[in-house]
Structure 1
Amino acid sequence: MTAAALDGYLRRIGLEARPEATYETLVDLHHRHLSAIAYDNLSIMLATIGAAPSPHPVDPAETLARVAAGGEAGYCFHNNGLFSLVLEQLGFEVVRRAGQMLEATGASGTLDHLAIEVRDLPTASNPEGRWVADVGYGDGFWDPLPLVEGHFRQSGFVYRLRRVGESGWTFHHDPHGSFLGSLVRGEVTQKEVERSHLRLATPPEGDFTRTLVVQRRDASGADTVRSIRHTRTGAGASVRELRDFDEWRSVLAGLGIGSAGVEEGALRELHRRQSAAYDDWLLTR
């Protein structure tokens, strides 16, 4: 990772100088990243229709450089990978942990989420100083959560953490969220993440190769585009279908997904296929 990439990322989320490694900084970075950088699998979906040579790799330094240059991040492996790298470079103590979504269809222990634990940031309410930071859930929590058992209310949403052993935990999402939660276990290596990325991003079995998903969290809620369905949870809750291509592309752009370097024909084909898949879903749900 280059210093220029780190500084470019900080500028993209609205910071002109490198902040100190404090709890207040962790919260601020968490908010800024979620507000500025979307969760998306666009590069995977473009690759599945032959409009891109391959999905974006999950190397944290490559993701950071891409985001610093104005590009998209990706899904949890990308967002939490680059965020953990940024935190480490700023002086935080970070542990990368393996996670599995509670609704996962794979065998027990399947790696399909990268989680972040930040240590040694004690506060009056969390003297142990261990925090769960996660900018890779898409519509997850706004503030980092203390790694203690309990329920946590944030801007109308309710989350729950349960400790599992010395190092793990289970996160339960708000009932209005887009997923149930995740089980987080021990430490994970980059090679393990890369192997799982290959499985998740390779059609036809890859979980992230069937439906376009773009999400972005803000202080009062979250926006999700799944296929051609746009859902807003929290403040201003709504649901609508984006059957018009220009409207669909405009909403994606509003969530931070640009189309630079992507041919319009490829986007139109993706929208066409996602519209057809959405209609199939309507008939079978």
Structure 2
Amino acid sequence: MTAFIDAYLHRLDLDNLAGQPPSVANLHTLHRAHTERVPYECLEIWLNRRTTVDPMESARRILRDRGGYCFQLNGAFSLLLDALGYQVTRHVGGVQGTADDPAEADAGHLVLTVSGLPSEDSPDGRWLVDLGMGDGLHEPLPLTEGTHRQGPFQYGLRPSQAEPSGWRFDHDPRGSFVGMDFRPHAAEMAAFAEQHEHLSTSPKSGYVRVATVQRRDATGADVLRGLVLTRIGEGKRSRTLENRRDYFTALADVFGLTLGDVTPAERDGLWRRLLAAHERWLSRRREATLAKSGLAT
């Protein structure tokens, strides 16, 4: 386990935290480093690679300079926190994508909380820890009702109306989803296996429909959806990555994804699928514009 801790901390450029006891300051440092250095991404799906919710499998992939989405990022991080002596608990959660979607903890999201670290912000010592919301948290939030600002984004925490005794996270209006609810009791990783299968294989899944990569830092978030790269901070700016070179350069320079574990043939296949998906997206946009103008046939 010592080798695992050392390798994971080295991945986060936090070798100095080895052997240090749990603390509020160190928890924040770990969370910030993880969001900045380990991207939220679903490219394994677009590379036609099967994955599981096994935390150690996810951790090994992260140590190969890759990322993942909530089950993988929070699953692996829970292993690291536990190994470092933190009191970490996994919870069943669910993301509300739009206001028209139901607010519920449907096991489509894995949430972490850490307890036993009281501070002025969190007198009872409980913290919301979540690396799996893409453009969400940069640092842990005290698990108390109220509003919290992190960089340009303002978040809310309150009792959940959908999950008795659970919690509701309200995202900033500029975020990629409306909010997230989670249940109060502890969950095993098996609780997420069915939803992981759906999210990684179903044609209805957002991960299957759109190749998404995100990274949060202190001043905002970088979001790559298909071939459109967006920076969201105090303002918002987007550009389309017009060619293969620009796409893979952005992965490396913006998100730290050099894809050293991806073969040339896999890169070729990934680019073909991305380009085809982008053309379908452009076609739908053209059809929607024509329909709005009354020119559609």
Same fold (TM over 0.5): yes
Aligned to 2:271: 268
> Larger % of helix: which?
2
| Alpha-carbon spacing, 1:237–1:143, altered in 2? closer, same or farther (3 Å) | same
Q: Which amino acid aligns with 2:9?
A: L
Residue 50 (structure 2) pairs with residue 55 (structure 1): yes
Tell me if structure 2 keeps the 8 A contact 1:38–1:72. yes
Tell me if structure 2 keeps the 8 A contact 1:228–1:274. no
Tell me if structure 2 keeps the 8 A contact 1:41–1:208. yes
Structure 1 gaps of 5+ residues are: 48-53
Residue 211 (structure 2) pairs with residue 216 (structure 1): no
Tell me if structure 1 keeps the 8 A contact 2:95–2:104. no
Tell me if structure 2 keeps the 8 A contact 1:5–1:64. no
Tell me if structure 2 keeps the 8 A contact 1:148–1:163. no
Aligned to 2:27: 26
Aligned to 1:51: none
Aligned to 2:136: 140
Aligned to 1:50: none
Structure 2 gaps of 5+ residues are: 290-297
| Alpha-carbon spacing, 1:154–1:40, altered in 2? closer, same or farther (3 Å) | same
| Alpha-carbon spacing, 1:113–1:75, altered in 2? closer, same or farther (3 Å) | same
Q: Write out per-residue CA displacement over residues 223-273 of structure 1, whole angstroms, 9 at most, x where no aligned residue.
A: 000011111111563111112221111111221222322323113212312
The alignment partner of 1:21 has SS state of coil
Aligned to 1:100: 94
Q: Which has the larger radius of gyration?
A: 2
The separation in 2 between residues aligned to 1:108 and 1:131, in whole angstroms, is 21
Q: How far apart are residue 135 of structure 1 and its match?
A: 0.8
| Alpha-carbon spacing, 1:91–1:167, altered in 2? closer, same or farther (3 Å) | farther
Q: Which amino acid aligns with 1:90?
A: L
| Alpha-carbon spacing, 1:152–1:108, altered in 2? closer, same or farther (3 Å) | closer
Residue 259 (structure 2) pairs with residue 259 (structure 1): yes
The separation in 2 between residues aligned to 1:126 and 1:166, in whole angstroms, is 22
Q: TM-score, normalised by structure 2?
A: 0.87
Count of residues paired in the alignment: 277
- Work out the percentage of aligned pairs sharing the same amino acid: 35
Q: How far apart are residue 108 of structure 1 and its match?
A: 4.8
Residue 122 (structure 2) pairs with residue 123 (structure 1): no
Q: Write out per-residue CA displacement over residues 151-180 of structure 1, whole angstroms, 9 at most, x where no aligned residue.
A: 111212110011237752100111111111
| Alpha-carbon spacing, 1:108–1:205, altered in 2? closer, same or farther (3 Å) | same
The separation in 1 between residues aligned to 2:3 and 2:102, in whole angstroms, is 39
The separation in 2 between residues aligned to 1:109 and 1:71, in whole angstroms, is 30
| Alpha-carbon spacing, 1:280–1:162, altered in 2? closer, same or farther (3 Å) | farther
Tell me if structure 1 keeps the 8 A contact 2:95–2:105. no
Q: Which amino acid aligns with 2:274?
A: H
Q: TM-score, normalised by structure 1?
A: 0.90
Q: How far apart are residue 5 of structure 1 and its match?
A: 2.5
Aligned to 1:226: 225
The separation in 1 between residues aligned to 2:208 and 2:257, in whole angstroms, is 18
Q: How far apart are residue 282 of structure 1 and its match?
A: 2.3
Q: How far apart are residue 278 of structure 1 and its match?
A: 2.5
| Alpha-carbon spacing, 1:192–1:118, altered in 2? closer, same or farther (3 Å) | same
Q: How far apart are residue 211 of structure 1 and its match?
A: 0.6
The separation in 2 between residues aligned to 1:62 and 1:109, in whole angstroms, is 24
